[in-house]
Amino acid sequence: MQKGIIGKKIGMTQIFDEAGKFIPVTVIEAGPCVVVQKKTAENDGYDAVQLGFGEIRSKNVTKPLQGHFKKADVAMKRTLREFKLDDTTSLNVGDIIKADTFAEGDIVDVSGTSKGKGFAGTIKRHNNHRLKETHGSGPVVRQAGSMGACSSPSRIYKGKGMPGHMGAEKVTVQNLTVVKVDAENNLIAIKGAVPGPNGSVVTIADCVKKA
């Protein structure tokens, strides 16, 4: 990884290219981010930088984090993310990273937290079939049914599709194209949809696996 930034998903819209074709894009408010911590292979075993994004009042920050920001002599930030970089020599604590770190045509990976959908059954969560409603199903047509756990193996195998909390998990979409960068307003337009609801925090990094 060569570069990365933290942003906030604004929403989706469409823009037109030079040929007049519209391109569906997701608009992300990317940065400005500040380098809060720098890690090196000599001291930490790997090269990385920790970026901070979003304003927050000090009373809403825990005392350990307050000391973390004070040590770096930077303003307190709402969100912290670490980016493992191939080379961190050009970055130092206190440096500001803005949207113009990316350019039109860059291929990026975008990570975010998907929408939470609460508790869900196996039909909605794992796309299971309903039971047949012809004979004897009763009121359990949407239930999971037998798990086959008799005296052997006397347990449910790990990974079995069960009812439970759905969504609200980290999702990464790879090989997305940066269509436009508005450095003045710290906005990046990325072709296609990125994970998470509007207003959620996302991270943008140059693509690890090329298309």
Model confidence over 150-167: pLDDT tens digits?
888 888 888 888 999 999
Whichever domain contains 87, its CATH number is 2.40.30.10
Q: Which residues constitute the domain of residue 43?
A: 4-117+165-206
Average pLDDT, the chain: 88
85 contacts 74 by C-beta, under 8 angstroms: no
Asked if residue 127 is part of any domain, the answer here is: no
The values of phi and psi at residue 117, to 5°, are: -115, 10
Peptide bond into 153 cis (omega under 30): yes
pTM above 0.85, yes or no: no
AA letter at 196: G
The values of phi and psi at residue 42, to 5°, are: -70, -40
Stretch 66-89: mean pLDDT, rounded? 89
In whole angstroms, what is the distance from residue 123 CA to residue 133 CA? 15
Stretch 120-144: mean pLDDT, rounded? 87
28 compared with 152, residue with greater pLDDT? 28
Asked if residue 134 is part of any domain, the answer here is: no
Asked if residue 144 is part of any domain, the answer here is: no
Asked if residue 125 is part of any domain, the answer here is: no
Stretch 161-174: mean pLDDT, rounded? 92
201 compared with 209, residue with greater pLDDT? 201
Asked if residue 122 is part of any domain, the answer here is: no
Asked if residue 110 is part of any domain, the answer here is: yes
Query: Residue 130 gets which letter from DSSP?
Result: P
154 compared with 64, residue with greater pLDDT? 64
In whole angstroms, what is the distance from residue 41 CA to residue 1 CA? 15
* Residue 36 confidence class, pLDDT cut points 50, 70, 90: very high
Asked if residue 108 is part of any domain, the answer here is: yes
β-pair partners for 96: 34
How many domains is the chain partitioned into structurally? 1
Indicate if the pLDDT at residue 211 is higher than 70.
no
Print burial letters for 50-72: b (CB count within 10 Å at least 16), e (below 16): bbbbeeeeeeebeeebeebbeeb
Asked if residue 98 is part of any domain, the answer here is: yes
